[in-house]
Chains A and B, each alone.
Chain A
Amino acid sequence: METLGFLMEGFAVALTPYNLMFALFGAFVGTLIGCLPGLGPANGVAILIPLAFTLGLPPETAMILLTAVYAGAMYGGRISSILLNIPGDEPAMMTCLDGYPMARKGRAADALAVSAIASFAGGLIGTIGLIMLAPVLARFALTFGPAEYFALFLLAFATLGGITGKNPVKTVVAATLGIMISTVGIDISTGTQRYTFGVLELYEGIDFILAIVGLFAISELLFFVESRMGRGRDKMNVGKLTLTMKELVMTIPTQLRGGVLGFISGVLPGAGASLGSFISYTLEKQVVGKKGKFGEGDIRGVVAPEAGNNGASSGALVPMLTLGVPGSGTTAVLLAMLISLNITPGPLMFTQNADIVWGVIAALLIGNVLLLVLNIPLVGFFVKLLSVPPMYLLPIVTMVAFVGIYSISHSTFDLYFMVAFGVAGYFLRKLEIPLVPIILGLLLGPEMEKNLGHALVLSDGEWSVLWASPLAMGLWIVAGLGLILPYLVGPLLRRRMNAAMKESPVSD
């Protein structure tokens, strides 16, 4: 009941015309970013962060904007999967399997419509799950001491590669890079300077936002310059909507199953939306069995992964908001934004920044409705945008990135630094080193170090405190499983998943 009251207050925040406008804008831009192949939700949110600073948005509006972009990107990913057989982002990979065959049979419009509805259902189920689970988990998190937090961060790192990770060694390299970068600055536990080389600008460490915008947005620009893909895609024909009510009703159980499964896999650290859509699709195939024609354009083959990945995107917000441990790459970017807005995620946020938390949750609900409305009639418009040459888009992105980063601290040093990160990001992507683990290392490394130090201070140097409590022990076991399982199950899953495409280095 208390939750309902908070949610109502959240709606009051999210429904102010100002915030609603940004939610709509975010949903629109998010869909656009999602449907452009290569630009995933993590990039999308990273690119929009400087805009929030440029416009000097208040914290709740900034978070509403970015969450709307996040939800929008999850919707948008399906468009190019269906029309081009190129997933707009990794979670939309499974949508190719039946979406593209449907389009080739001349049912592109149906596939787009039904997948928008499925996205809506998945997003709605995921958000309801978030509303029910988050406050409970937040209260539970108060019982976490330093040892438990240490085990939790260990779990986050152990599951980092995720079950779908392609090359575990590269993931480890990336995470290590992130942790190394995070050690620059004054160490808060000892007060000593590390790797500052007497440069005043390095004393406070390296700003996550700067690293994120550099790594994602600037490297994107460099890739564009390299490939000179100035030409847009050929125009595509969507065809007429022939979807019947009967077909839609038939997919309702699929939507529910997909949404719930997606939400659960979203909550699990490291798994994220890709796993959500994969599991939903696989399960659907097994449940429906021989009656379906999966792989040849079965409508349920479009519905299941879309409900799954949108459910997962809300699920991934649960550990991020309650524990400060992101469940996916995009939520890691959102976490960085929260921290730079001076909001500490965790149990305290639900009481001290209730307006922001519940405003964001309400915005997710509203965003889903907006996205459904945007995506059914405007689908033709997004399809047209797919053929807009990126040469018009990227200069704007770059300009916003520079203005935004400059407006955070008014320092030209930061701009040089951002460009350096962009160049580094370009080479890392060339080497197929994933960028998301870098961000996670940068964000979580110092927290993990801090909690290790605190646990040892409290226990007077006794290391066994780290696994003394049942809760900490449980987390260690799950972390162990998370480390081993990908080697056992991973190759099997990957083989089945990679039917469609090679994994993009920038993924969710």
Chain B
Amino acid sequence: MMIKRTLSFVAAAAVSMSAMAWQPSGKVECLAPADPGGGWDFTCRSVGNVLQDLSLVDGSVQTVNMAGAGGGVAYAHTVSKRAEDDKLLVAASTATTTRLAQKQFPGMNADMVTWVGALGADYGIIAVGKDSEYQNLSELMDAVKANPKSVKFAGGSARGGWDHLKVLIAAKAAGADKLPSIPYLSYNNGGEAMSQVVGGQVDAFTGDISEATGFLESGDLRVVAVLSEERLPGKFSDLPTAKEQGIDAVGPNWRGFYMPKGASEEAKSYWVDAVDTLYASEQWKKVMKSNGLIPFHPPASKFDEFVRNQVQDIENLSREIGLLK
């Protein structure tokens, strides 16, 4: 404990050295663009705790919930009312980039904020029922290529949402055409979609690995591919990736932050470093482990580019399936 404390003090000291010009004093606000209890709320609360543990903030980190329009209300608030706030972090994830790409925040785009960094991810999976004829992703995608209507997918997001996009990313990587013809059934959440796949009404499930744990353990669901760069750690290490089956599809649902564009440069670089320090800390590793988060942390210099690429990719895909005109 003692050693850990000292280490984190050293780490904190290192950060404050690199950004000596600016350090947050007093209360820091973390805006969760949803009701308490969801993923964004979790991001704010757990990061807030670890930031305080590591003494990266001298005051407290207060989580403020601002639900609405799938994050749109909080985005508009940050852009218009808090444009120069140095002490505001806003929780974000792939859902944010998806909505930005699909122009669902009217009059706003990804350039209007500063993307700070990611702190882990939940990876996409494609799974089938235990009695399905498809043993792996290649077989599944061969069927899709032969007849796009032959495999029906179910997921927990709206049409055009992240779960639907993962199917399209995989199908596109596998070389399928006629993407708009692939049937996708949207349910209110992953659980509902999975029970239809397990019950045999729908052929395949698209979702995140964390949703499927229960049905994986009971053996009712077979994961044909994880959409990650490499195999996932721990109990998921048996699950094949899409990449090793020759289909270059990656779908991380990352969790991270953006902050106001007009904040001072010192503050921005302070928060980027703080997120790096936090990600490297033992405390954060513990949080990731107990909440099923999988390592994902593009280097600070690359994160902005990563977000822009993701937005662009999603925009292209959405255009291709006719969701955007």
Interface residues of A (CB under 8 A from B): 142-146, 186-191, 193, 198, 200-201, 203-204, 342, 344, 346-348, 351-352, 408-411, 413, 450, 453-454, 457-458, 460
Complex Cα gap A338–B156 (Å): 18
B69 CB contact (under 8 Å) in A145, A203, A351, A454: A203
| Residue numbers in A under 8 Å from B13 (CB-CB) | none
| Residue numbers in A under 8 Å from B105 (CB-CB) | 200
B5 at the interface (CB under 8 A from A): no
Complex Cα gap A408–B67 (Å): 9
B207-221 residues with Cβ-Cβ distance < 8 A to A are 214
A19 smallest CB distance to B (angstroms): 19
B138 at the interface (CB under 8 A from A): no
B30 smallest CB distance to A (angstroms): 14
B191 and A348 within 8 A (CB): yes
B195 CB contact (under 8 Å) in A203, A346, A409: A346
| Residue numbers in B under 8 Å from A188 (CB-CB) | 157-159, 161, 186-188
| Residue numbers in B under 8 Å from A457 (CB-CB) | 152, 183-185
A200 CB contact (under 8 Å) in B69, B102, B152, B159: B69
B69 and A348 within 8 A (CB): no
| Size of the chain B interface, CB-CB below 8 angstroms | 41
Complex Cα gap A201–B69 (Å): 6
B199 CB contact (under 8 Å) in A142, A203, A408: A142
Closest residue to A453 on the B side, CB-wise? Answer: B185
B185 CB contact (under 8 Å) in A201, A342, A454: A454
Closest residue to A193 on the B side, CB-wise? Answer: B104
A5 smallest CB distance to B (angstroms): 17
B106 and A198 within 8 A (CB): yes
A202 smallest CB distance to B (angstroms): 8
A368 smallest CB distance to B (angstroms): 31
A344 CB contact (under 8 Å) in B35, B189, B199, B214: B189
Interface centre among A191, A193, A410 (most CB of B within 10 A): A191
A408 and B35 within 8 A (CB): yes
A189 and B159 within 8 A (CB): yes
B70 at the interface (CB under 8 A from A): yes
B204 smallest CB distance to A (angstroms): 13
B68 and A203 within 8 A (CB): yes
Beyond A344-B192, A411-B73, list 15 extra A-B contacts (CB 8 Å). Answer: A186-B158, A187-B158, A188-B159, A198-B106, A200-B69, A200-B76, A203-B69, A342-B189, A352-B214, A410-B64, A410-B65, A450-B187, A453-B185, A457-B152, A458-B202
B186 and A189 within 8 A (CB): yes
**Could you pull out 25 A-B pairs where Cβ atoms are within 8 angstroms?**
A145-B199, A186-B158, A188-B159, A188-B161, A188-B186, A189-B186, A198-B106, A200-B105, A204-B68, A342-B37, A342-B189, A344-B191, A344-B192, A347-B195, A348-B191, A352-B191, A408-B35, A409-B67, A410-B66, A411-B73, A413-B68, A457-B183, A457-B184, A458-B152, A458-B202
